[in-house]
Structure 1
Amino acid sequence: MFVNFRRIRKCQCVQLITTCLVLSVVMVCWEQLDSSVVSHVKSYSYRYLINRYTFINKSFTIPRKEALSFSNYRYRLNHPDKCSGQDVLLLLFVKTSPENTERRRAIRSTWGNETYIRQALGVNVRVVFALGVPQSKQQHQALGERSRLGLQETLVREDRLHGDLVQQDFVDTFHNLTLKLIMQFRWAHAHCGHARFLMTADDDIFVHMPNLVRYLQEEAKRGVTDFWVGRVHRGAPPIRRKDSKYYVPFEMYQWTSYPDYTAGAGYVVSRDVADKIYQASLTLNASLYIDDVFMGICANAMGVSPQEHVYFSGEGKAPYHLCIYDKMMTSHGHVADIYHLWKAATDPRVKRAASGLMGRLYCTVVKLTLLCKPYYFNTYPCKAAFL
């Protein structure tokens, strides 16, 4: 038998080069991979084996006077009569930044249009945009003092036109998101405590308002309490990498696992839970700037647990398909496409195509194809295909 030794040597050389490349990549990524794996193992162990979050409640409890320092900011823009004299099904706070004018305009024209909701769906939903003041020059080099003041004047004009901005005088930054969360529950308690549900959402989220309204109406008929629904994170570990946006130092949070919480992109609570969160915020240290985690700490202190809904997305964007639209509640990461998505998702043909035995079977197959993939992270889970 003739053996081509030159060819064998060439194959061995290719294998050696490939092995070296793979090992190089592994060596570069190992520290980050190892840290992530270890932190998740520790976190899940704490969550499922120990689960002593009572220590967290005690460590975050501070005197009431000190806790009030996180909520006593002066209102720059406010509409205390927004809910007055009306039966409100849902009070919806949209977390927005001062410069995101186009996002607010798009929401008002689509899923957050109060007139459409009242006329087409027959309920009152109050949409309020929550924000702080524009950043100063020291905090944002691209934005000078003159531009900062000009942006505030623009916000005042926008609010005069639409009457839906609620602004306190803390600086609007990522690290002040917890202040924005506290502001929402404080405002709801003071001015819209009779709303049956409260929702908080990002300004790049899409809400399928017809589906959400129907869902909340059914829950309201059942007289639901202790209701907190969204995309649930269980046993999530704090991120200790300093280069991460979500970095939390050990001094700020010393445990290996967060209490269960819902993704801050969009979640809904019943009015009794909204009041409990407000009460908890009056006695807890709000220096933790990951707002959805702080929400979990408040809820844990009051004995409230989040409930998973498969059609609330986390940070992920849902696939574009009428079978997805039929059940969709929220989808994250929509800015430029929001008008198109609103038109497509609320088209009457969606319900017709997904109804009946054949329609349901067709949509099950489609959703299995779209959702049951390993690279679809933080959007709807595979089990949503069967619901």
Structure 2
Amino acid sequence: MAQVHPLYLKGLICVSILLSLIPLWCLLVMTDDVQRRWQLSSHFFLLQGNLPRRSRLQALDGTRRGVDFPSLFTSSQTAPHCEPGQLLFILVTSAPGNSEPRQVIRRTWAAREGPTPYQWQSVFLVGQTADVGVTQEIQREQREFGDLLVGNYLDTYRNLTLKVMHGFKWVAERCQPSYILKTDDDCFVNTDRLPEFLQEHNTIKTGLYAGSLFPREKRQVIREPSSKWYVSRQDYLPAEYPPYASGVGYVLSLDAAQRILWAAERVHPIPVEDAYVGILAQEAGIRVKSSARFAKHNVRWRLCNYRYLMVIHHLSPQEQEVAKGNMLRARRACRGGLEVTKWK
């Protein structure tokens, strides 16, 4: 067998080394945008491109990128009007096609029943859709009601985190209410009690983050890729989330929302909205307060429960109508009972 000349062998080694360095060189000269597109996505999608994630180079030194807030705002949609300094601002997450739930909310708990000393407002949070008909309906709703905040992200369940962060950023900077309530469009909000409670009875004026907490066994991070709550170890390494309030409804004081937004610029987002808010609260040094006033389940509540409960989850449009009637009847029928004035 012929022997390989040493110079030839040395040349082959050099060529192999050069070829192995080409991918690294390409990564180094890529723009940030190209790097983001090159990497695997985390099921977050903006209207154009993927949500910024850690690049391979960033992962080497352990730094992370938080929410890219500027990319969530779109100039093509008119934002709702708000009066700065209101007592309460209610952000309602809603899918673009959920026009019926929005209409029901407008005529039930979001409707004003005469003059009130407590100033509050509600706005629906929606994203983008490829359905032209639904997009036109959203535009029509906005012209008629002016209560839709449309963000620059595809409206999917996995993008709920972007939806809520967009809403927080907008309301904290533009409207600056004393308190913010985040809820969903299948929830009933007791607007007859909550503003009064916040003004007259709430003693936690700063650092407030209150809602219905999940028990520890419900805070395990789901690693099954087929689950809609799937979070990879790359996106969140711990096996358990810190204590957090259910996304059906939680209240933040303005300063707490601002501190959470500060943390969101530094903490990598995950596609589980309420857990992500809990992670941000921990990062910002805010302790979540457990409150039974936020009901994760809709049961046969008694009339006078409507003098205590602030948010009830999972109501049909018909049940929203019934709940509003109970809320108004409880105003007079239950005033003689002992008033609970604490979050518990």
Secondary structure of 2:252's match?
Answer: strand
- The structural deviation recorded for 1:345 is 2.5
Asked if residue 309 in structure 1 is aligned to residue 291 in structure 2, the reply is yes
Is the alpha carbon distance of 1:285 and 1:242 closer, same or farther for their aligned partners in structure 2, counting shifts above 3 Å?
closer
Is residue 294 from structure 1 mapped to residue 272 from structure 2 by the alignment?
no
Q: Distance in 2 between matches of 1:301 and 1:339?
A: 40
* Residue identity opposite 1:333 in structure 2: H
The yes-or-no answer on 1:323 pairing with 2:304 is yes
Match of residue 230 from structure 1: 211
Displacement, 1:168? 1.4
Q: Which residue of 1 aligns with 2:183?
A: 201
Point out where structure 2 has 5 or more consecutive residues left out of the alignment. Answer: 1-58
Cα drift, residue 203 of structure 1: 0.5
Deviation at 1:62, TM superposition (A): 4.5
Count, aligned residues: 279
Matches within 5 A, 1:170-319: 170-193=153-176, 195-219=177-201, 222=203, 224-235=205-216, 236-286=219-269, 288-314=270-296, 316-319=297-300
Q: Does residue 334 of structure 1 match 2:333?
A: no
Q: Does structure 1 retain, via aligned residues, the 8 Å contact 2:80–2:146?
A: no
CA separation of 1:303 and 1:219: change in aligned 2, threshold 3 A: farther
Moved over 4 A (4+): none
Question: For residues 323 and 333 of structure 1, what CA distance do their matches in structure 2 show?
Answer: 19
Aligned to 1:156: 139
Partner of 2:96: 98
CA contact (8 A) 2:90 2:181 kept: yes
* 1:167 paired to 2:150: yes
Question: Residue type of the partner of 2:142?
Answer: D
Q: Partners in 2 of 1:223 and 1:250 — Cα distance?
A: 35
Deviation of the 1:99 alpha carbon: 0.3
Spell out, residue by residue over 1:16-53, the C-alpha distance to the aligned partner (whole angstroms, 9 max, x if none). Answer: xxxxxxxxxxxxxxxxxxxxxxxxxxxxxxxxxxxxxx
User: What is the CA-CA distance between 1:120 and the residue it aligns to?
Assistant: 4.2
Q: Which residue of 2 aligns with 1:34?
A: none
For the residue of structure 2 that corresponds to 1:201, the secondary structure is: strand
Residue deviations 1:308-361 (CA, integer Å, cap 9, x gap)? 1112112x114232132231111100122111221122214x65346348xx9x
Q: 2:117: which partner in 1? A: 122
111, 117, 126: which one aligns with 1:131: 126
Letter in 1 for 2:229: Y
Which structure dedicates a bigger proportion of its chain to helix? 1
Answer whether contact 2:101 2:186 (CA < 8 A) is retained. yes
Give the aligned partner of residue 72 of structure 1.
71
1:313 touches 1:332 (CA, 8 Å); kept in 2? yes
Q: How far apart are the structure 2 equivalents of 1:355 and 1:152? A: 49
Matches within 5 A, 1:352-371: 352-353=333-334, 355-356=336-337
Cα pair 1:266 1:312 within 8 Å, conserved: yes
User: What code does the residue aligned with 1:98 have?
Assistant: P
The residue type paired with residue 106 of structure 1 is: V
Compute the displacement of 1:250 (Å). 3.1
Q: Structure 1 pair 208/68, CA: closer, same or farther in 2 (3 Å)?
A: closer
CA distance in 2, matches of 1:99, 1:62: 38
Identity score, percent:
27
Q: Deviations over 1:144-170 (max 9, x none)?
A: xxxx11211111111011011111121
**Distance of 2:337 and 2:264 partners within structure 1:** 47
The structure-2 alpha-carbon separation of the partners of 1:185 and 1:62, relative to structure 1 and needing over 3 Å to count, comes to: farther
- Report the secondary structure of 1:269's partner residue: strand
Please tell me the root mean square deviation across aligned C-alpha atoms, in Å. 2.6
Inter-partner Cα distance in structure 2 for 1:120 and 1:328: 22
The unaligned stretches of length 5 or more in structure 1 are 1-57, 137-147, 361-383
Change (3 A) 1:100 1:120: same
Q: What does 1:366-381 correspond to in 2, within 5 Å?
A: none
Distance 1:126 1:62 in 2: 38
The answer to whether the 8 A contact 1:208-1:328 is kept is: yes
Distance change >3 Å, CA 271–CA 230, structure 1 → 2 = same
How far apart in 1 are the matches of 2:321 and 2:337?
29
